[in-house]
Amino acid sequence: MLDRYLPNASFISTAPGRVNLLGEHVDYNDGMVLPAAINRAVRLVAKLTRDRTVNLQAVDLGQSVTFSLDHLVEKQDINGNPLPSWALYPAGTAWSLYEEELDLRGFEGAFTSDIPIGAGLSSSAAVEVAFAALWQKLGGWSVDGVKLAQLCQRGENRYVGVNSGLMDQFASANGIAGNALYFDTRSLFWQPVPLPPGSVIIVADSGVRRSLANSAYNDRRASCEQALSLLRPHLPGIRALRDVSPEDFAIYADLLPEITQMRARHVVDECCRVAEAIPLLKAGDAAGFGRLMLACHASLRNLYQVSCPELDILVELAQELPGCWGARLTGAGFGGCTVNLVQENKAEEFILGLKDGYQNKTNRQAEVYLCHASQGVHVEELP
């Protein structure tokens, strides 16, 4: 389909979105996360040029831009106009690779995505990872998937100005078909963990898009930092909330202002839930894992306060449906999607039941679909 926009392209880079199964809002607290890359992706085709410009078409938006690899800091196109906001992601990735002194080549490109924007499925991380992997191929250098993710994260944090953690870029870069990815965001150790046999992942999009998501996200981060600085004098060994045990937290929680205490409690509990989840997943215990997903949602709703009525309704409805092991909001929250772990042979019934129930309760349509845990970014040469 992209041939129409860029005939004779020589490469295609495909980078998936992700769901997170457990470990929400812990990646910026050095915690462990459990995302899976999904079969929704950014596809970018490209043809190397001889100059130092990038000429890009954002096919879904019907827009295009040309920027120079030698003037990234200015955040302008070659005519001196500010880059459109979508172009900050590829340009920010280029800036980060440049900072790392990696060889950057100019190209003509066109990209499209079937990851819904603002739905908590990491559409922006997938854009960054698709571009980073393409530049890697064009430049003939090679870094591992975690490093690639870190480079993309730096672009998003410092160039685009969004203070996200490492989970989304990590999942898009390292996905493995059929597996969730256990990732320790401190040690950077990771390993694939197979999904329980007979289970499938179903995503339900509430149709609510995140508004104020950035400031609310930064506000949650600030609370975590505040909690850390108030607890540290009493627990000198801690470097992040990940290091606070539930026992220590019970002793010192009262030192924290109420809202900060609630938010820190979520992080402390969520880190324990991920630790508990790994042996359950390895034993194929879908029901046990599903209970942790439900507990996570309750905590995100009540303590961390990043849910919204529509997401809560989707989770409540899901729990009542046959074959559902677990359901919770996925990603940053404030709208977007829920992720559901469902018995494979009940999947169709579940999808119909959830759609119907949601329409009845909210008068809104939810897009509900089966997702496959998928391979991470890959770049292929086109014939």
d(CA 4, CA 9) in angstroms, rounded, equals 10
Supply the minimum distance, in Å, between the C-beta of residue 34 and ligand GLA: 11
For the CB of residue 164, give the shortest distance to ligand GLA in the complex, in Å.
Answer: 3
Rounded to a whole number, what is the distance in angstroms from the first to the last CA of the chain?
15
CA–CA distance, 228 with 226 (Å, rounded to integer): 5
Residue (25 or 242) nearer to ligand GLA, CB: 25
- Name the site residues for ligand GLA (rule: CB under 6 A): 24-25, 27-28, 164-165, 167-168, 331-332
Give DSSP secondary structure letters for 158-169.
III-----SHHH
Q: How far is the CB of 215 from ligand GLA (least distance, A)?
A: 14
**Residue 24 Cβ, how far from ligand GLA at the closest point, in Å?**
4
Locus of tokens 């046990």: 288
Answer for the pair 144, 234: CB distance below 8 angstroms, yes or no: no
The enclosing H or E element of 111 equals: strand 107-113
Residue closer to ligand GLA (CB basis): 145 or 165? 165
Q: Kindly tell me which of 73 and 222 has the beta carbon lying closer to ligand GLA.
A: 222
Q: For ligand GLA, which is the closer residue by CB, 167 or 373?
A: 167
Residue closer to ligand GLA (CB basis): 311 or 332: 332
Q: How far is CA 77 from the centre of its chain?
A: 28
SS (H, E, C) 363-378: CCCCEEEEECECCCCE
As annotated, the active-site residues are: 168
3 state SS of 310:
helix
- CB 283, min distance to ligand GLA, A: 25
Q: How far apart are CA 151 and CA 271, in angstroms?
A: 25
